[in-house]
């Protein structure tokens, strides 16, 4: 059986990565009619997904996402297309703007400059 292996490193931290893992599970359920089970752990989460012709896992931790999936015979012919589509979806989620990102930098830029005290 053909295998799919997708690996993406990130610098989001575990909580943000968990949000992305959950978002990917929702998309997989909606777009691909996958059955998804998301198991939260202390340092790593595991998403199990399956449907006719495919089953696999997405491991989510503080520094990486790692997806491994096995395709059945019929879907094996579409391996490259499936792998590209899943990779693009994961990349889109990783690159999406996140609420609160960059607020500290924006606040610094917008903070009014304090005037120097007049000399006596």
Is 75 inside a domain boundary?
A: no
List pLDDT tens digits, range 19-73. 999 999 998 999 889 999 999 999 999 999 999 999 999 999 999 999 999 999 9
Determine the pLDDT at residue 58.
97
Residues of the domain holding 7: 1-59
Whether residue 24 is contained in a domain is answered as yes
In-domain check, residue 108: no
Give Cα 50 to chain centroid, integer Å. 18
Helices (H), 33-115: 73-76, 79-95, 103-110
| Count of domains observed in the chain | 1
């Amino acid at each position: 059986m053909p295998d799919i292996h997708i690996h993406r490193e990130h610098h989001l931290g575990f909580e943000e990565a968990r949000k992305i893992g959950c978002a990917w599970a929702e998309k997989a359920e909606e777009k691909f009619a996958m059955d998804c089970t998301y198991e939260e752990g202390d340092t790593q989460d595991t998403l199990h997904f399956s449907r006719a012709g495919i089953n696999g896992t997405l491991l989510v931790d503080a520094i990486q996402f790692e997806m491994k999936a096995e395709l059945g015979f019929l879907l094996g012919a579409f391996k490259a297309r499936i792998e590209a589509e899943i990779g693009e979806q994961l990349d889109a989620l990783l690159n999406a703007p996140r609420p609160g990102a960059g607020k500290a930098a924006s606040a610094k830029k917008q903070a009014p400059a304090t005037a120097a005290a007049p000399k006596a």
